[in-house]
């Protein structure tokens, strides 16, 4: 796991949280992603599906996760079933959620590293698993019959409230996994499989909406953060209801919970990313900088130098309670790079062949320095705010292109200087003004953008 990423910012609490996340990555990834600090020492499949992305910004995890997916394939049963707990205990083989690592991880891996082999190697396992799931797990109404572990170790585990409906989560994941299977089948030329899984994804999505959505209030059953989050992440919310569901999600965070989260293992995988995607990175920043429980800042305040297994590690009994795991880090590490640093891969041109750079200056941040060494070389994004002016230094590696989104009041107030690489002599081309940012097309090289902030 070669080091490939660096991140720092003006908020010292975030720097400490980031350091805790990186330590937990190093502690957990021992041959496989496993719980290193208590009795199980198991490769539970619940968290790597998305923590892998966070790890990939910091370390080169391509060989690590190619190997891990091989372990998952070896574990597959004769009926196509997969265990939620890796190859040793063989628990919860009906669960459609935690073993979704066989769908979500290869799909992400291809987009991050641009390597089609991971899709080819894992497609047969994914297909057999989804056929098993849909044969044993779908009820007459098209929703899941098996709930599994749900949003493991969410805040309700110590607050005494009701957690997110696990049947609802399983149903959402079946639809999402079918959507991935259809997409991969299409890429690999399996057209009949593509049609089958696409139709199945649509059927389960409709069943999910019918059973769990409350149209009169635009809320999902249970009204938890995770109950809003997963449908938003998986595209299950009808377009005409999306804004209302987003508003309910944000209200739960800012009003009901006064700027704190309530999610566990599953919700944490999508939480920060969804808030950025719906245009509320400011809310994600509010959550990230909390110091009262449940929060990563609380772990820091209590002397934690890694990420705990439970939000209340310091007060609950020692059983099922580790202090160096990625369960509650989810996609947080990636969020530091993607949202604050602005370094994103383009799904259309995978492997950072085309780079999308879009930093979000939020809260009281005055600077961010982030870098990631992709397959083509070093991507660098360093920005600073002084007196309402935004200065951004960018490095684009050889043989790539980028779209850069400069936070700006208007395009007229943006200035650019830099040194394009020889192959990118065309320099910088203005594209459009969009969502309080001026977008430019650039080639490989070193650039500086300056603007007046909105």
pLDDT tens for each residue of the chain, 454 residues long: 899 999 999 999 999 999 999 999 998 888 888 876 666 777 888 889 999 999 999 999 999 999 999 999 998 999 999 988 876 666 678 899 999 999 999 999 999 999 999 999 999 999 999 999 999 999 999 999 988 888 988 987 777 666 899 999 999 999 999 999 999 999 999 999 999 999 999 999 999 999 999 999 999 999 999 999 999 999 999 999 999 999 999 999 999 999 999 999 999 999 999 999 999 999 999 999 999 999 999 999 999 999 998 898 888 877 777 777 888 999 999 999 999 999 999 999 999 999 999 999 999 999 999 999 999 999 999 999 999 899 999 999 999 999 999 999 988 888 888 777 655 556 788 889 988 999 999 999 999 999 999 8
The 3-class SS string of the chain reads CCECEEEEECCHHHHHHHHHHHHHHHHHEECEECCCCCCCCCCCCCCHHHHHHHHHHHECCHHHHHHHHHHHHHHCCCCCCCCCCHHHHCCCCCCCCHHHHHHHHHHHHHHHHCCCHHHHHHHHHHHHHHHHHHHHCECCCCCECCCCCCCCCCCHHHHCCCCCCHHHHHHHHHHHHHHHHHHHHHHCCCHHHHHHHHHHHHHHHHHHHHHHEECCCCEECCCCHHHHHHHHHCCCCCHHHHHHHHHHHHHHHHHHCCCCCCCCHHHHHHHHHHHHHCCCHHHHHHHHCCCCCCCHHHHHHCCCCCCCCCCCCCCCCCCCCCCCCCCCCCCHHHHHHHHHHCEEEECCECCCCEEEECCCCCCCCCEEEEEEEECCEEEEEEEEEECCEEEEEEEEEEEEEEEEEEECCCHHHCEEEEEECHHHCCCCEEEEEECCEEEEEEEEEEEEEEEECC
Residue entry with tokens 């249970």: 222
Please indicate, yes or no, whether residues 358 and 217 belong to a single structural domain of this protein. Answer: no
Please indicate, yes or no, whether residues 285 and 398 belong to a single structural domain of this protein. Answer: no
CATH number for 326? 1.50.10.10
Domain boundary among the residues 316, 338, 360 is at 338
pLDDT of residue 411: 87
pLDDT of residue 157: 72
The answer to whether the CB of 300 falls within 8 A of the CB of 17 is yes
The answer to whether the CB of 420 falls within 8 A of the CB of 409 is no
Please indicate, yes or no, whether residues 109 and 224 belong to a single structural domain of this protein. Answer: yes
Q: What number of residues does the chain have?
A: 454
Q: How many structural domains is the chain composed of? A: 2
Please indicate, yes or no, whether residues 333 and 356 belong to a single structural domain of this protein. Answer: no
Domain boundary among the residues 294, 322, 338 is at 338
Please indicate, yes or no, whether residues 254 and 397 belong to a single structural domain of this protein. Answer: no
Parent domain of 292: 5-338
CATH number for 439? 2.60.420.10
Please indicate, yes or no, whether residues 41 and 143 belong to a single structural domain of this protein. Answer: yes
Please indicate, yes or no, whether residues 394 and 275 belong to a single structural domain of this protein. Answer: no
Phi, psi of 378 (to 5 degrees): -85, 130
Does the pTM surpass 0.75? The reply is yes
**Greatest Cα-to-Cα distance within the chain, rounded to the nearest angstrom:** 64
Question: Could you tell me the two tokens for 71?
Answer: 């372990």
Question: Could you tell me the two tokens for 63?
Answer: 């060989």
**Nearest 5°: CA angle at 1, between 39 and 49?**
60
Cα–Cα distance, 382 to 376 (Å, whole number): 19
Please indicate, yes or no, whether residues 348 and 333 belong to a single structural domain of this protein. Answer: no
Cis, bond preceding 294 (omega within 30 deg of 0): yes
Residue entry with tokens 């496993």: 34
Please indicate, yes or no, whether residues 250 and 370 belong to a single structural domain of this protein. Answer: no
Please indicate, yes or no, whether residues 131 and 89 belong to a single structural domain of this protein. Answer: yes
Please indicate, yes or no, whether residues 48 and 138 belong to a single structural domain of this protein. Answer: yes
Please indicate, yes or no, whether residues 324 and 432 belong to a single structural domain of this protein. Answer: no
Domain boundary among the residues 338, 355, 386 is at 338
């Amino acid at each position: 796991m070669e080091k490939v990423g660096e991140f720092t910012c003006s908020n010292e609490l975030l720097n400490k949280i980031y350091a805790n996340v990186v330590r937990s990555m190093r502690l957990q990834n021992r041959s496989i992603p496993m719980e290193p600090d208590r009795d199980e020492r198991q490769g539970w499949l619940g968290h790597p599906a998305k923590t892998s992305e966070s790890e990939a910004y910091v370390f080169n995890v391509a060989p690590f996760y190619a190997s891990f997916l091989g372990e998952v394939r070896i574990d597959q049963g004769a009926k196509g079933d997969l265990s939620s707990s890796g190859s040793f205990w063989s628990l919860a083989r009906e669960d459609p959620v935690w073993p979704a690592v066989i769908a979500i991880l290869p799909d992400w891996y291809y987009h991050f590293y641009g390597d089609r082999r991971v899709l080819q190697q894992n497609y047969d396992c994914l297909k057999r698993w989804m056929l098993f799931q849909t044969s044993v797990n779908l009820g007459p109404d098209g929703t899941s019959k098996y709930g599994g572990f749900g949003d493991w170790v969410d805040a309700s585990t110590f607050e005494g409230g009701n957690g997110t409906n696990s049947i609802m989560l399983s149903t959402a994941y079946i639809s999402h996994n079918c959507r991935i299977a259809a997409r991969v089948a299409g890429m690999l030329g399996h057209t009949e499989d593509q049609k089958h899984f696409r139709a199945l994804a649509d059927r389960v999505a409709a069943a999910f909406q019918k059973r769990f959505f409350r149209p009169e209030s635009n809320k999902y059953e249970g009204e938890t953060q995770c109950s809003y989050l997963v449908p938003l992440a998986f595209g299950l919310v009808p377009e005409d209801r999306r804004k209302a569901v987003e508003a309910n999600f944000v209200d739960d965070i800012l009003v009901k919970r006064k700027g704190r989260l309530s999610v566990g293992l599953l919700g944490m995988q999508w939480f920060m990313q969804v808030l950025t995607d719906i245009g509320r990175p400011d809310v994600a920043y509010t959550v990230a900088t909390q110091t009262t429980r449940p929060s990563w800042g609380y772990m820091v305040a209590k002397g934690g130098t890694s990420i705990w297994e439970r939000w209340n590690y310091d007060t609950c009994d020692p059983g099922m309670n580790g202090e160096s795991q990625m369960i509650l880090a989810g996609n947080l590490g990636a969020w530091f790079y993607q949202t604050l640093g602005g370094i994103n891969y383009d799904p259309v041109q995978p492997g950072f062949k085309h780079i999308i750079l879009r930093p979000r200056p939020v809260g009281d941040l005055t600077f961010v320095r982030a870098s990631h060494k992709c397959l083509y070389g070093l991507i660098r994004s360093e920005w600073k705010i002084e007196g309402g002016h935004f200065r951004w230094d960018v490095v684009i590696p050889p043989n790539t292109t980028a779209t850069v989104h400069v936070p700006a009041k208007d395009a007229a107030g943006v200035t650019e200087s830099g040194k394009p690489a020889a192959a990118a002599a065309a320099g910088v081309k203005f594209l459009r003004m969009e969502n309080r940012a001026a977008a430019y097309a650039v080639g490989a090289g070193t650039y500086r953008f300056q603007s007046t902030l909105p």
